[in-house]
Structure formats: structure tokens, C-alpha cells
Structure 1
């Protein structure tokens, strides 16, 4: 019996944040021909979040990735999940999830995301 093909993961990102948009553009360029990730810009399509039970502000603040099995990854876990699929960048995902550095990675991501979110709001990006 042939293995069942996995569904691609879906990245939920906010293009209204210039920092977030630049990061996503870099990932998309590296994955242009790859169907491993689907991309949903919540700034352009906020209506998709209701069916997922997600709040728009939560996705604006932290990256979200639904893996091929439908499990939602948020924040540093989402970054690691996306990086794992990028040719020549995939190795970067492992150190982000090592148990000894995971807590530090999560704290750093959350602190940066919180500040970036506040900056974007103050700049009127949304």
C-alpha cells in the first residue's frame, strides 16, 4: 500500500507588519516551487481565522503554522516548523527546539513578538 500523501502545512502570517512580511517573503522565495507550505495572509484574509478558532490579534502578534495533520504551532514552534521545510535552512529548526534552549528561544521570541506587535500598532500598520 502506498503511503498517504501529507497535506501541506499552512502558514498564517500578517503582511501589514513589515518585519514579518520580509521574513515570509524570504521563506517564500526559497520555497517558490515547493508545495510543502501554503501561505495565508491574515491582513488580507482575516475571515479564515474564524473557522480555526483563532483571534486576528493573536495571529498578528505571533506566527501560526498548522502542520499537515492540522496541529497548530505558535510562535517559536511555528518558526521552527516553517524553517524545517526550507532547503539549506532546515537545520536551523533543530536547535530552536532543543530542550536546553527551547525555553530561552520561546522567551526571546515572545518578548520580540510583543514589542514588534506594539510597535506596529503605534505605527498604525493596522
Structure 2
């Protein structure tokens, strides 16, 4: 299963990427293998972090950065860390709704991750997923 998902990932298949993230986020047995197989090929990919209080304009700024990168024909993946729902344990928000100009773009992948109680606005698995 992991082999097929990794092939999908390198073929820019968003479903495969989403499933790999879920495995890593849930600390599946395969998560270390996934990271070790993908990281060497991705380590030169730039990572940009946006943080700040609610309503400050993070999603607006992020959307503008994505639009600029897409003009340069770059693909973009966004991992948004959201507060955790006390009912489901999952992410509450979903920044893709606030980034209406880019969320349907085939070259953009947006995924929300629940903070799962981690402090400082970063989910425990954010680094592994990015």
C-alpha cells in the first residue's frame, strides 16, 4: 500500500498525498518508511511558515503568496494547523474556504491538520508532514 501511495505522491496525485499525510499524522507503522523514502527527494523544497493571532490576515497573505508562486508555475502544498474540535478530535477550520482563488487549482494542495492539543500553533506532526 505504501509503495503505491508514494508513487502517487511523486505523480502529483492529491489523493495519494492526503493518504500519506493521514498515515504520518496518525503515527501509523509505515510513517517512518514514508518519511525516509520521500524526504531525501524533497529536502530542497522551500518551506514557509505563517503564524499569528486570529483575524490578522494569514490566509489572505498566504493566498497572495500562492498566486505568485503559481504564476511562476510552481506547485504548492499548504498544511494549515487548526484548533482541535472537542467533539471529533479533528481540525475545525479549513483554510481552503478562505483561499477561494486557489483551492480549486490543480497545482495547489491544501490540508488542515488538527493541533491535537499541541501548544504554539504547531501540530506535533507538522514538521514530519512538511
TM-score between the two structures when normalised by the length of structure 2: 0.25
Between 1 and 2, higher relative CO (CA 8 Å, sep ≥ 6) is seen in 1
| TM-score for the superposition, normalised by structure 1 | 0.26
- Higher helix proportion (structure 1 or 2): 1
